[in-house]
Amino acid sequence: MLTAADFNTLLLTFKVASIATVLMLLIGTPLAWWLARTQSGWKGIINAVVALPLVLPPTVLGFYLLVLMGPAGAVGKFTNWLGIGTLPFTFAGLVIASVMYSLPFVVQPLQTAFAAIGQHPLEAAATLRASPFDTFFSVVVPLAKPGFMTGAILGFAHTVGEFGVVLMVGGNIPDKTRVVSVQIYNHVEALEYSEAHWLAGCLLLFSFSVLLILYTALKTHPVAHPLK
Amino acid sequence: MSSIQARFQLDYGDFKLDVDLQLPGTGITVLFGHSGSGKTTLLRCIAGLQRAPQGLLEINGKLWQDSEHYVFLPTHKRSLGYVFQEANLFPHLTVKQNLQFGLKRIKPAPDSSKLAQTLELLGIDHLMERMPERLSGGERQRVAIARALALNPDILLMDEPLASLDFKRKQEILPFLSRLHQELAIPVLYVTHSQQEVAQLADYLVVLADGKEITSGLPADTLTRLDMPMAQDKQQAATVWQATVVEHESEYHLTRVEFSGGALSLPSIDADVGTPLRVQIYARDVSIALEAPTATSILNVLPATITGIVDDQSGQSIVRLLVGTQPLLANITRKSAILLGLKIGMEVYVQIKGTSILN
C-alpha cells in the first residue's frame, strides 16, 4: 500500500506539475506565437534553445541550473540581492527547473497549431474590426485549442516524469522537493520493492491514461482546422 | 462630389506598385488585370492589410493613409467590408456567429432590418445555424459577402470573390452581385481577371498591368480601346451598352430596347417597360456592310462610323465603330476589311447577330 510519505510525494509531484504547466502556458504561448510568425534571424537560435532539453541529459541541464541559481551563480546573486535567498533545494527552484525542462513540450504543439492557422483568419478578423489583441483571443485561441490541450497535457506529464533535473536542483527533501520519481529511487535503494511497485504502478497508469487521452479523445490533430 | 483618391508606391524588388487613381465615390469600380498586375496588392493596400511605404488614401472625405504626415489607420479601424477570394469564414463559428463577429465590435450597432434584407437578398437566411464546413462554395461566398455588408461599411472591397468557384456557382452568385449593385449606396472596388465579370458589373473600369494603371474610364469606352488587350481577345472582345426596355412584341417573342444610339430587338425578356438593362455585344457577333442591307434575316442593322481598325497577325481585323455615341467592336477577316476598303471615318452599317442581356 501507499504510505503517508508516498502519498505526500504524489501530492507534491502534482503540485509542482500543475504550477509548472500554468507557467509554461503563460510563457510558452507568446513564445510560440512569436516563433510561428517571426521572420527574424533569431528564430533559429531561439528554437534551438527552447528544444535543447529534448536532447540534453537532464543531469546536464540540472547541473547548469544548480550552478546558475547557487550562491556563486548570476541568478543566485540576484535572488540573494532581492533578499529571497538562493533557489536550489527549494520548491520554487524545483518549479523553475521543471519549467525549463518541459517547456519544449508545450511550445512545440502550440507553435505547430499557430502556424497552421495562417494569415487568412487574422486578416478576416481585422477587416471585421477586431484589434490584433482581440483577434488572438477570439480567433487564434479557439482555432489552436487542440494545440493548447496537447501542450498542457504533454507538459504536465513530462514534468511528473522528471528525475535527473529534480535530483540536481531539488534534492531529496521530504514535503519540499521529494517527488514521486525520487521516492521510487529511495525505495529501491532501501530494497523496499513492494512500496516501489505501488508508486511505479501509479505513474505507469497515469502516463498510459494521458497518452490514451491524447491519441483517442484528442485525435483531432492541432493542424486539423483548415480554413473553409 | 464624393470620390476615392488612392496613391500608392511600393517596391518588392521583383514587383513594383505605382498608382495614382481618382475613382468614383459610388457604383462598382472594377480593377481588372492579369495575375501579377498588382490588382490584389492595390486592394490590400486600400484595406490596410499591406502597408505601402508611400501612400495617400482618402475615401469619400475620410483620410485613411497619408505617409507624408505619418497617418496610417490600421485595418480594424477602417470602415470597410472585405470579401476574400476564399470566403475566409471562421471555421469555429456558425454562420450566424460569423455574421455577428463584426457587428459585436461596432458602435452604434447598425440597423438590423438592413442585415435581414441582405440575408434575404443573398438567399442565406436558412443557413444561420450551419457550420461553414457544411456549406457549399457558393453559399460560403454569399455568407462572406453578407458578413462584410453587415457592418454597413463606407466601402466594399472584393478580391476575385468568384474566382474559386466553378461555372455553376458563379452563375448562382453573379445575379446577387448585380442586384446588390442596384441597392447599395456605397462604392464597391471589385478585383477580377474575368472580362465576363467586367461586362456584367463594372460602372467604372481600371485596367492594371505590371503594377501600373494602363487605362481607366467607363467600360463601354475602355473595353473598346483598340490599344488594349481586352479588345484584341477574339473570343472575349465585346462592348456593353446601357439600354432601356421600350416595348414587347409578344407575337414574335421579342423585346425592343432603346440605347443612346438607337434601338435593338432582343429575344423576349421578362422585364417591365422602362427597366434599365445592360446589353453585351461580342465583336464576333458583329459584321459590317457598306450599304443598308435590304434583304437580310438579321434584325439589328444600325448605321455606324468607323473610328479605328487594327489587324492581328492571323488574318483577322478588329474594327471600332460608333453607333450614335455608343462604341462597338466588330471582328471581321482581314480580307473583308480590304475588299470593302474600310477606312477610319467611313459611314457603314453594322449587323448584330447576337446579344446577351447581363442583368
Residues A20, A79: Cα–Cα separation, whole Å: 19
**Tell me: the pLDDT tens digits for B253-287?**
999 999 988 899 998 888 889 888 889 999 999 99
Please give the average per-residue pLDDT across B214-236, as a whole number.
87
Residue type, B332: I
- pTM comes to 0.85
Written as one string, the DSSP assignment of B82-105 is: EE-SS----TTS-HHHHHHHHHTT
**In the prediction, which pLDDT does A188 show?**
94
With 70 as the cut, is the pLDDT of residue B25 above it? Answer: yes
pLDDT band at B88; cut points 50, 70, 90:
very high
Beta B28-32 vs B204-209: how paired, if at all? Answer: parallel
Q: Which three cell numbers stand for residue B236?
A: 472575349
Q: List domains and CATH numbers for chain B.
A: 3-217 (3.40.50.300), 238-357 (2.40.50.100)
Nearest CB to B76: which of A121, A126, A142?
A126
Strand order in B286-289's β-sheet? B286-289, B347-352, B300-311, B316-323, B326-333
CATH fold group of domain A4-37+44-215: MetI-like fold (1.10.3720)
Please give the average per-residue pLDDT across B12-29, as a whole number.
93
**Tell me: the pLDDT tens digits for B156-199?**
999 999 988 888 888 878 878 887 777 788 899 999 998 888 98
Beta B188-192 vs B16-24: how paired, if at all? Answer: unpaired
Looking from the CA of B31 toward its CB, the CA atoms found within 13 Å total: 31
Minimal CA separation from B166 to chain A, in Å? 16
Pairwise CB contact (< 8 Å): A130 & B105 = yes
**Tell me: the pLDDT tens digits for B89-110?**
999 999 999 999 999 998 887 7
**In the prediction, which pLDDT does A218 show?**
67
Residues A184, A190: Cα–Cα separation, whole Å: 10
Q: Which three cell numbers stand for residue B172?
A: 448562382
Beta B3-11 vs B54-59: how paired, if at all? Answer: antiparallel
**Tell me: the pLDDT tens digits for B282-318?**
999 999 999 888 888 888 999 999 999 998 888 899 9
**In the prediction, which pLDDT does B63 show?**
96
The one-character DSSP state at A3 is: -
Which residues, listed in sequence order, are joined to residue B57 by a DSSP beta bridge? B6, B65
**In the prediction, which pLDDT does B319 show?**
95
Pairwise CB contact (< 8 Å): B92 & A226 = no
Residues B247, B257: Cα–Cα separation, whole Å: 7
Measure Cα distances from A148 to A29, A114, A132, B277 in Å: 9, 10, 19, 56
The one-character DSSP state at B111 is: P
Q: Give this complex's ipTM.
A: 0.85
Can you list the residues of chain A whose pLDDT is less than 50? 221-228
For cell 519544449, what's the residue?
A104
Residues B191, B339: Cα–Cα separation, whole Å: 42
Nearest CB to A128: which of B101, B133, B140?
B101
How many other CB atoms sit within 10 Å of the CB of residue B138?
21
What rounded mean pLDDT belongs to chain B?
90
How many other CB atoms sit within 10 Å of the CB of residue B69?
9
**Tell me: the pLDDT tens digits for B333-357?**
999 999 999 999 999 999 998 777 7
For cell 502556458, what's the residue?
A25
Is residue B52 within 8 Å of residue B103, measured between CB atoms?
A: no
Nearest CB to B91: which of A123, A127, A228?
A228
How many other CB atoms sit within 10 Å of the CB of residue B118?
24
Pairwise CB contact (< 8 Å): A121 & B88 = yes
